[in-house]
Amino acid sequence: MLRKCLYLTSLMMLIPGVAQACSGVSYSAFLYQKSGNGTKYVVGESRDDYNIHFPDILLPQVTFSQLRRVPDVIIHRFDSPKKINNDFIMASVYSRELKHGGWRFDWLTDGQHILWAGKIVQNPPDAPKVDAATFRAYGRFAADKDSLYFDGERTDDNHGEKQVDFASLQSVGGIPEAQDDADVLKDSHNLYYRGRWISSAKGYVILGVKSWEQNGPIRPRTTCDTRYNPGPWDTLFRTPTQVFLNGKALPTDPDSFAIVRWMPGTLLIYRDKNGTHRYAFGKNCLDTFDIQKDKVTWITRDASTSGDDCRIETLEGVDPEHFTRLNDNAAQYKDSLYQFTYRSPLDKTLVVTKIIDPELQLERGLNQYGQRLYFVGLDDVQTFDTVGALVWLKKTDGTPSDTFARDDRYLYFISDSMGEMARMETRDLDAAYLSKGNHDLVTVEGNYDWLNNHFTPVSELDGEGLSSE
């Protein structure tokens, strides 16, 4: 699994060179498994706890034994269509503009249904039904006899002038060498952008591809070298009648169009026969909670490596002046704590809970209010209710520890510097103590490291590990 997740194919998988240079990349993998007479989709192997967790997605109507990959022009160049468990998301080590450095989600079918990222693809009520028999894919793009699809959803019709020709389909924008990373697709007749028909391909010209980050040329994700720049980019192209930036038509005359200033991901200033124009674009797909002048938004679906295709909703009734980000994934608004949980690899659900005291303003690290503990860590906020008073354990010299504590039932690891907190159980609470020298927590079950709370059971401790008071 690790080897599979550390090379790049055209579906944003790292190629072998990166597996050597970037072998420490964090990731989460996702698996289809048999569940009774049906199928389930679960979180599988994870490296460095990439923090994507969701309840098993049950698919009782999907026949697991019949699951196979949809015919895919890109995928079949690289691996067997019989391999169904290839889904993953990996961390970004390439770009400060991205949360995720890449993902892969295969289109699957059991002959009756189409699946993507653990969900059955279903069209809106007013659209034709998904037709598994005619369904074909080109990476994240797909089509059946009636519809075009992208990232698991219907995006357009597949009739008349919009009808796609898979035999001639190819990537023409973004990073051509990365194939699926390219944002513009072209067949013998048409141009498509992220699954939507744009225009006839006759006379099209790519005017420019510009990175959001000014640290070198855009190249495929084949290195961890930060001088290279495989991160998000803008694609500017034209046809005889229109100019498009990232798939959106600009209000301009294409024959007199000229770029004045291009700030990637933010602003395009251009000139045509009607004068000079400013076109602001892009959105914040990095901050889960974005505090703006007149509103607060949150990301309901993470962005891909395109960088700007996240989904955002406005938090109704929230005054930005009183909204405070606690870390990358949590915020406080008056007496409420705002967090989220994943319900699938990409989609999130907002979780709002009341804080015990409306006057309590949470800060990084441990916040204590009576027997209620809030720990604001690096990427979440944990809540505990102690059993009795929280007491810091004492070191061998009698001074209190700043890492290990206990109450009447549990042991606690609390590290403000690491941004981590954990609660542990032991069958003999009174036997727990801090070792001499390194101040590890010693219990009858084993030792907890003072630095990161790593647990070593008694059976694996050598003579030196069995610390004494």
Q: pLDDT tens digits, residue range 119-173?
A: 999 999 999 999 999 999 998 999 999 999 999 999 999 999 999 999 999 888 7
Residues 414 and 377: beta-carbon distance below 8 Å: no
Residues 314 and 297: beta-carbon distance below 8 Å: yes
- Total-model pTM: 0.84
pLDDT of residue 318: 97
Q: Which region holds residue 81: left if phi is over 0, alpha if psi is between -120 and 50, else beta?
A: alpha
> How does pLDDT run across 323-367, given as a tens digit for each residue?
999 999 999 999 999 999 999 999 999 999 999 999 999 999 999
pLDDT of residue 302: 92
335 residue type, one letter? D
pLDDT exceeds cutoff 50 at 91: yes
> Of the ranges 116-120, 139-143, 174-178, 460-464, which is most confident?
116-120
- The dihedral built from the CA positions of residue 117, 119, 120 and 123, taken in this order, carries a sign that is negative
Please report the beta strands in 194-335, taking only residues with DSSP state E, as ranges in sequence order. Answer: 196-200, 205-211, 233-238, 243-245, 248-249, 258-263, 267-272, 275-280, 289-291, 296-301, 311-314, 323-325, 331-333
> How does pLDDT run across 49-82, given as a tens digit for each residue?
677 899 999 999 999 999 999 998 876 555 677 7
Residue with tokens 């647990």: 455
pLDDT of residue 175: 54
> Of the ranges 88-97, 289-298, 300-309, 438-447, which is most confident?
289-298
pLDDT of residue 436: 87
pLDDT exceeds cutoff 70 at 264: yes
Average pLDDT over residues 303-312: 88
pLDDT exceeds cutoff 90 at 90: no
Cα of first residue to Cα of last residue in the chain, in angstroms, is: 43
Chain mean pLDDT for the chain: 86
Residue with tokens 């609390």: 414
pLDDT of residue 79: 64
Question: Cβ atoms within 10 A of the Cβ of 398, count?
Answer: 6
pLDDT of residue 233: 82
Q: How far apart are CA 107 and CA 109, in angstroms?
A: 7
Percent of the chain exceeding pLDDT 90 equals 67
Q: How confident is the model at residue 21 (pLDDT cuts 50, 70, 90)?
A: very low
**In a 3-state reduction of DSSP, which class is residue 42?**
strand
